[in-house]
């Protein structure tokens, strides 16, 4: 069961909003008084998945009305608004955002009960203004309010719960020992008392007071603890209530959590003390009808399909995951790699004066929002960036340090495409390598599949020789394209048969190697990319390396991978 607030009021602002698409103008120049809506669109949703706006780039302006009753404080929570955006309330610009997948909150100033909310989104690439996005990323970047928007109504002038994080104890997680970290906003009004319950049972242990900054940290023991694992995804629930000077409860918050431990040691991965082998896929949050705003029923089906194939792992490539997807992974026992938005950043990006700061803000927002999901076992960042170049070092260092400081209980990694020249391995717990032997650059190779195992061997040898034999290694991407339905006697590139043989051989090579702790195949289903640098290598402007096509119709590789994964 998911936690539902009983005191705190939250309103899902989903539904039809007024809308206008403007081909000209910029986020900087825009003011709501110069805007006349001529359409209504659904929130959440990307406006450019609609046929009318398909392929168009410009400003997508959204408008709705919100109500903040007297005596209440309003906070807007946006889970993802793509790509750049500005939030205006009653003609005042309150927030600017430059990362289309990062969640953010907007505190509403005092004002009348009824307010006009305008959200301006820009789906044009503007590297100078928004260095988190670039044209060459190999996935379509849409525009609009692509994930849930919530209005939170809190009692005015009273301290309220800002964050509630639970971390299972490293040693005694199986005995139910967890560390609670609770932070308040408006902490200086007064010090509230705290009432706590776990799975509906009041916690009777003496609790410390909030400190001057409104922080409370304590250790609790769950009664009747049950460990979380892919085979037994047991969840527990924690509820906190804040009480005022008269002992009246006025705010509450709750979360689910799981008791489990992930470790990287002696060159291996361990979950709950047992060696862990990862078998899974990379997955973009995407389907043809709704683009990046995948319906939850599709998320559920995707996880089911993966579980039925014997997967225990999904890499959420290449950005913050939808909270609904993570909730399902918690419940359905899928281990998750969640990573910050990023794709192949090069010197130009690392030298952009705003990039390091924006990258860090987005990274922190990911950990904040996803902290309590037991399914997440590792945090990632900077997919296939220049991890072999000195100029990238500062951002890699800062990212790894920040993740460890915010959450020492999970592993830190990034996917490298320069396994031999990489200079960042010292920063991470787990080395993750993207490698496509037998696919890219194999135009004139006679037996491309024979390249896979030797290439993995070469990579592992070089990692160990360079002194990283104590770090576990996974293949975080490998794969080949197949066009759904392309079955013909040559079984050549782009045929379903070649892809099936490719993935079978890649899995065989991974599982035969004692130094490789698992694989995330590229990719779960075919996914739209666009006419950037990739279009001519991408028939249909799709990345066709899915084991399923975009409608989740299985290709021949489905059987090959199921055979390789099941029963291991």
**Which residues are near ligand ADA by CB under 6 A?**
138, 317-318, 383-384, 434, 477, 522, 543, 545
CB of 362 to ligand ADA, least distance (A): 18
Per the DSSP assignment, residues forming a β-bridge with 508 are: none
CB of 427 to ligand ADA, least distance (A): 19
Q: Which is nearer to ligand ADA, 318 or 558 (CB)?
A: 318
Q: Which is nearer to ligand ADA, 20 or 521 (CB)?
A: 521
Nearest to 344 by CA among 315, 382, 311: 382
Q: Which is nearer to ligand ADA, 261 or 545 (CB)?
A: 545
What string of H, E and C letters represents the secondary structure of 526-554?
CEECCCCCCHHHCHHHEECCCCECCCCCE
CB of 559 to ligand ADA, least distance (A): 22
Q: What does DSSP assign to residue 40?
A: E
Please count the other Cβ atoms lying within 10 Å of the Cβ belonging to residue 353: 8
State how far the Cα of 510 lies from the Cα of 507, in Å rounded to an integer. 5
Q: Which is nearer to ligand ADA, 263 or 384 (CB)?
A: 384
558 in Cβ contact with 548 (< 8 Å):
yes
304 in Cβ contact with 544 (< 8 Å):
no
CB of 395 to ligand ADA, least distance (A): 18
37 in Cβ contact with 61 (< 8 Å):
yes
Q: Which is nearer to ligand ADA, 180 or 509 (CB)?
A: 509
Nearest to 567 by CA among 377, 309, 255, 321: 309
CB of 473 to ligand ADA, least distance (A): 16
Burial of 163 (0-12, 13-18, 19+ CB in 10 A): middle
Q: Which is nearer to ligand ADA, 20 or 341 (CB)?
A: 341
557 in Cβ contact with 495 (< 8 Å):
no
Q: Which is nearer to ligand ADA, 238 or 415 (CB)?
A: 415
CB of 542 to ligand ADA, least distance (A): 10
Q: Which is nearer to ligand ADA, 122 or 338 (CB)?
A: 338
Peptide bond into 44 cis (omega under 30): yes
- Considering only CA atoms, give the Rg of the chain: 24
CB of 455 to ligand ADA, least distance (A): 14
Half-sphere exposure of 566 (CA within 13 A, CB side): 11
Nearest to 147 by CA among 129, 121, 127: 121
Which residue's beta carbon is nearest to the bound ligand ADA? 138
State how far the Cα of 85 lies from the Cα of 126, in Å rounded to an integer. 12
Length of the chain, in residues? 568
CB of 279 to ligand ADA, least distance (A): 19
CB of 523 to ligand ADA, least distance (A): 7
Beta strand 431-434 with 473-477 is parallel
Q: Which is nearer to ligand ADA, 48 or 384 (CB)?
A: 384
């Amino acid at each position: 069961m998911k936690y539902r607030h009983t005191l705190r009021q939250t309103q899902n602002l989903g539904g039809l909003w007024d809308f206008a698409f403007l081909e000209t103008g910029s986020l900087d120049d825009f003011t709501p008084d110069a805007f006349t809506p001529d359409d209504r669109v659904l929130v959440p949703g990307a406006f450019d998945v609609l046929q009318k706006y398909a392929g168009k780039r410009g400003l997508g302006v959204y408008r709705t009305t919100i109500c903040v009753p007297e005596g209440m404080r309003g906070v807007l929570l946006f889970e993802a608004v793509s790509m750049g955006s500005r939030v205006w309330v009653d003609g005042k610009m309150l927030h600017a955002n430059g990362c289309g997948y990062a969640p953010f909150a907007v505190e509403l100033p005092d004002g009348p009960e009824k307010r006009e909310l305008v959200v301006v989104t820009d789906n044009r690439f503007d590297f100078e203004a928004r260095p988190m996005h670039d044209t060459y990323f190999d996935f379509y970047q849409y525009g609009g309010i692509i994930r849930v928007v919530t209005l939170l109504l809190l009692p005015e002038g009273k301290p309220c719960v800002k964050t509630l994080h639970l971390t299972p104890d490293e040693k005694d997680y199986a005995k139910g020992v967890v560390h609670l970290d609770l932070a308040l906003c408006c902490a200086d009004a007064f010090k509230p008392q705290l009432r706590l319950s776990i799975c509906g049972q009041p916690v009777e242990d003496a609790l410390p007071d909030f400190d001057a900054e409104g922080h409370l940290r304590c250790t609790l023991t769950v009664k009747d603890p049950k460990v979380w694992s892919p085979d037994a995804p047991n969840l527990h629930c924690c509820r906190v209530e804040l009480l005022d000077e008269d002992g009246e409860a006025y705010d509450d918050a709750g979360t689910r959590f799981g008791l489990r431990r992930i470790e990287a040691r002696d060159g291996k991965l361990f979950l709950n003390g047992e060696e862990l082998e990862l078998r899974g896929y990379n997955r973009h949050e995407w389907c043809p009808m709704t683009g990046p705003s995948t319906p939850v029923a599709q998320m559920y089906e995707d996880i089911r399909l993966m579980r039925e194939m014997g997967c225990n792992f999904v890499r959420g490539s290449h950005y913050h995951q939808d909270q609904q997807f993570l909730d399902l992974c918690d419940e359905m026992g899928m281990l998750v790699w969640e990573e910050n938005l990023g794709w192949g950043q090069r010197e130009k990006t690392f030298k952009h004066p705003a990039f390091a700061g924006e990258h860090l803000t987005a990274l922190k927002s990911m950990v904040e929002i996803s902290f309590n999901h037991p399914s997440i076992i590792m945090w990632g960042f900077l997919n296939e960036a220049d991890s072999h170049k000195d100029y990238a070092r500062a951002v890699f260092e800062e990212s790894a340090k920040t993740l460890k400081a915010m959450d020492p209980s999970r592993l830190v990694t990034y996917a490298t495409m320069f396994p031999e020249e990489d200079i960042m391995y010292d920063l991470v717990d787990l080395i993750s390598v993207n490698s496509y032997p037998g696919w890219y650059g194999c135009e004139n190779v006679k037996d491309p599949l024979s390249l896979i195992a030797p290439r993995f061997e070469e990579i592992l040898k070089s990692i160990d020789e360079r002194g990283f034999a104590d770090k576990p290694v996974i293949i975080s991407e490998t794969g080949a394209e197949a066009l759904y339905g392309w079955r013909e006697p040559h079984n050549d590139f782009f045929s379903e048969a070649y892809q099936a043989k490719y993935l079978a051989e890649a899995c065989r090579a991974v599982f035969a190697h004692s130094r490789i702790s698992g694989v995330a195949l590229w990719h779960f289903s075919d996914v739209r990319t666009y006419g950037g640098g990739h279009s001519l290598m991408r028939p249909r402007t799709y990345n066709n390396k899915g084991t399923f096509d975009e409608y989740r119709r299985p290709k021949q590789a489905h059987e090959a991978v199921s055979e390789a994964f099941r029963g291991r």
